[in-house]
Amino acid sequence: MSYAKALSVGLTGLTGHLVEVEADVAAGLPLLALSGLPDAALHEARDRVRAAVTNSGESWPNRRITVNLLPASLPKRGSVFDVAIAVSILAGTGVLPLAPLQGVVLLGELGLDGTVRPVRGILPSVAAAVRAGVRRVVVPLACAREAALVPEVTVRATDTLRRLIDFIRGCGPLLDPPALPEAAPATGPDLADVVGQELGRRGLELAAAGGHHLSMIGPPGAGKTMLAGRLPSILPPLSDEEALEVTAVHSLAGVLPSDARMIRRPPFQAPHHSASVAALVGGGSGLARPGALSLAHCGVLFMDEAPEFGSQALEALRQPLEDGVVALSRTGGTIRYPARIMLVLAANPCPCAPAAGDAFCECPPPVRRRYLGRLSGPLLDRVDLQVRLLPVTAAQLLRDGEAPEDSATVATRVARARAAAAERWAALGCRTNAEVPGRDLAGRQWRLPAGATRPLEAALNSGAISARGYHRVLRIAWTITDLDGRDRPGSDDVSEALAMRMGRLV
């Protein structure tokens, strides 16, 4: 035998394609040539594969070896093909039978010592293999649980190339994915901890119910960070389709915990303001890593101390926020990662940020204006809800009155409101009020009676809000109505919505 082939999977973004790794072993000067548009990491595969094979106790064929990865048109990234390359070479020299690997996809990186090491993106890779009709995969042991999340496929694992070689020769078994430990009950921070801040709590509930972006401006210690961290606790759990997509993104970023489970709760990402643009939107060499924006897909991206983010970072968020997708241009094409998020911004009103409130501010007015102005153009404009928080008073913190509502109670109202909105907008293809285009809100079918929108028209005519702001207020008014279980917004709803939009105190 001088020719053999093995199967693997290559990823472009979240999309995977079957890759055939073929090896031809011929007489001639000892040489290993790799072809099929490999990137730098793949060239390093040459050295890894050779060392791994010899350190697994097999002899390296001192012949002319050509390895080709097909389809050639597909850019191949990363080290995931190592195992398939090693096996195809050994089979090509005739020291391994091929039959046991018919239709089996091999995924994994090789260490120089012959260990099979975990790779990023196992979940989307296995899912792609299944979609292509494959029913058996062999993966690194450390990724086996993750691979086993994909239905309709038999997952076998190996920790070393040696074990895989023994299996192929029929002299030993592969490993089963480790059993999943009992799931610990999900415990996150709860809204019951937040005292007072009625307006902040209202903003959070409206944001959750309508899918609106939210900004919270207030003095230090008012509870902005506290409130934002509790938004996921009142959002509905992910659908099966969302769960698969979110878990796949986290797999690609290499941030799934090793007891890998499907992510069922909306994710929460809070990048620091010093984070690089790549950390925010994604990037890096080889298989591009999704950034915080994509890790927050179907969940919350929280930008604490938002004005402190660099202008490049703020700018980089603009397009993805609009499209719900991050596009990263790479050699060999553009990679897209999903990024449908709820944005939550928190900020102090000014750089000096007195805890006791704005009355004690010592900043010159231009400094104050500039501070929040950094956010205005690109981001704040897209934020429906703009809430002002006041300092929490000692009286509120010490009061033994009624306990604050907990997250479960609020989540029930949110789920009901979301269901009402999804049903109403189904024909438009929208799931939440935040997604409904302005022209539909103002169109014949959904236009509100003049009596209801009077406060809004006054604000528009006085220049207090823009035409875009007009539609945003309408969206919030619908959310208020949904939370209340009513059919159509009235003028009270529109007035409250206007106040929530303008960051004024009701």
CB of 226 to Mg ion, least distance (A): 8
**64 CB-near residues (< 8 Å, 6+ apart):** 25, 26, 27, 28, 29, 30, 31, 33
Which one, 2 or 225, has the nearer CB to ligand ATP? 225
Q: Is 223 in the site for ligand ATP (CB under 6 A)?
A: yes
Which one, 229 or 283, has the nearer CB to Mg ion? 229
Which one, 127 or 344, has the nearer CB to ligand ATP? 344
CB of 354 to Mg ion, least distance (A): 15
Q: Is 55 in the site for Mg ion (CB under 5 A)?
A: no
- Which DSSP category does 454 fall into? H
> Rounded CA gap, 18 and 35, in Å?
16
The only residue of 225, 276, 319, 491 in contact with Mg ion, by rule CB under 5 A? 225
Cis geometry, peptide bond prior to residue 71 (ω within 30 degrees of 0): yes
> Rounded CA gap, 271 and 292, in Å?
7
The only residue of 348, 453, 481, 495 in contact with ligand ATP, by rule CB under 6 A? 348
CB of 191 to Mg ion, least distance (A): 17
Pair 247, 425: CB distance under 8 Å: no
Long-range contacts of 401-406 (CB under 8 A, 24+ apart): 403/192, 404/191, 404/192, 404/193, 404/194, 404/195, 404/201, 405/191, 405/192, 405/201, 406/190, 406/191, 406/192
Give the other-Cβ count within 10 Å of 490's Cβ: 17
Which one, 225 or 319, has the nearer CB to Mg ion? 225
b/e per residue 437-463 (b: at least 16 CB within 10 A): eeebbeeeeeebeeebbebbeebbeee
Q: Is 197 in the site for ligand ATP (CB under 6 A)?
A: yes
Pair 1, 24: CB distance under 8 Å: no
Which one, 83 or 306, has the nearer CB to Zn ion? 306
The only residue of 5, 76, 156, 224 in contact with ligand ATP, by rule CB under 6 A? 224
Pair 335, 13: CB distance under 8 Å: yes
Q: Is 112 in the site for Zn ion (CB under 5 A)?
A: no
Interacting span for ligand ATP (CB under 6 A) from 4-12, 110-118, 173-181, 218-226:
218-226
Which one, 226 or 464, has the nearer CB to ligand ATP? 226
Which one, 2 or 225, has the nearer CB to Mg ion? 225
Interacting span for Mg ion (CB under 5 A) from 118-126, 211-219, 220-228, 294-302:
220-228
**369 CB-near residues (< 8 Å, 6+ apart):** none
**496 CB-near residues (< 8 Å, 6+ apart):** 476, 477, 480, 506
The only residue of 37, 98, 192, 195 in contact with ligand ATP, by rule CB under 6 A? 195
**334 CB-near residues (< 8 Å, 6+ apart):** 327, 328
**What are the backbone angles phi and psi of residue 244, rounded to the nearest 5°?**
-65, -45
At residue 408, what is the residue type? A
Q: Is 361 in the site for Zn ion (CB under 5 A)?
A: yes
Which one, 159 or 358, has the nearer CB to Zn ion? 358
Pair 266, 303: CB distance under 8 Å: no
The only residue of 174, 263, 392, 498 in contact with ligand ATP, by rule CB under 6 A? 392
Residue with the CB atom nearest Mg ion in the bound state: 225
Interacting span for Mg ion (CB under 5 A) from 2-10, 79-87, 185-193, 225-233:
225-233
The only residue of 222, 249, 293, 339 in contact with ligand ATP, by rule CB under 6 A? 222
Interacting span for Zn ion (CB under 5 A) from 36-44, 243-251, 361-369, 465-473:
361-369
Strand segments (E) across 109-163: 109-110, 116-117, 136-140, 154-158
* Binding-site partner at residue 352 among Zn ion, ligand ATP, Mg ion, none, CB < 5 to 8 Å by type: Zn ion
Pair 69, 14: CB distance under 8 Å: no
Which one, 6 or 350, has the nearer CB to ligand ATP? 350
CB of 378 to Zn ion, least distance (A): 23
**90 CB-near residues (< 8 Å, 6+ apart):** 53, 58, 96, 165
Q: Is 363 in the site for Zn ion (CB under 5 A)?
A: yes
Which one, 218 or 282, has the nearer CB to ligand ATP? 218
> Rounded CA gap, 506 and 498, in Å?
10
The only residue of 95, 226, 275, 422 in contact with ligand ATP, by rule CB under 6 A? 226
Q: Is 319 in the site for Mg ion (CB under 5 A)?
A: no
CB of 224 to Mg ion, least distance (A): 5
Pair 235, 229: CB distance under 8 Å: no
Interacting span for ligand ATP (CB under 6 A) from 114-122, 195-203, 377-385, 419-427:
195-203
85 to 3, 10, 45: CA distances (angstroms): 12, 13, 9
Tell me if residue 378 falls in helix, strand or coil: coil
**Judging by DSSP bridges, how do beta strands 325-330 and 282-283 pair with one another?**
unpaired
CB of 286 to Zn ion, least distance (A): 45
Which one, 153 or 270, has the nearer CB to Mg ion? 270
* Binding-site partner at residue 226 among Zn ion, ligand ATP, Mg ion, none, CB < 5 to 8 Å by type: ligand ATP
Q: Which residues bind Zn ion (CB under 5 A)?
A: 350, 352, 361, 363
Q: Which residues bind Mg ion (CB under 5 A)?
A: 224-225
Using CB under 6 A, list all residues that contact ligand ATP. Answer: 194-197, 218, 220-226, 348, 392
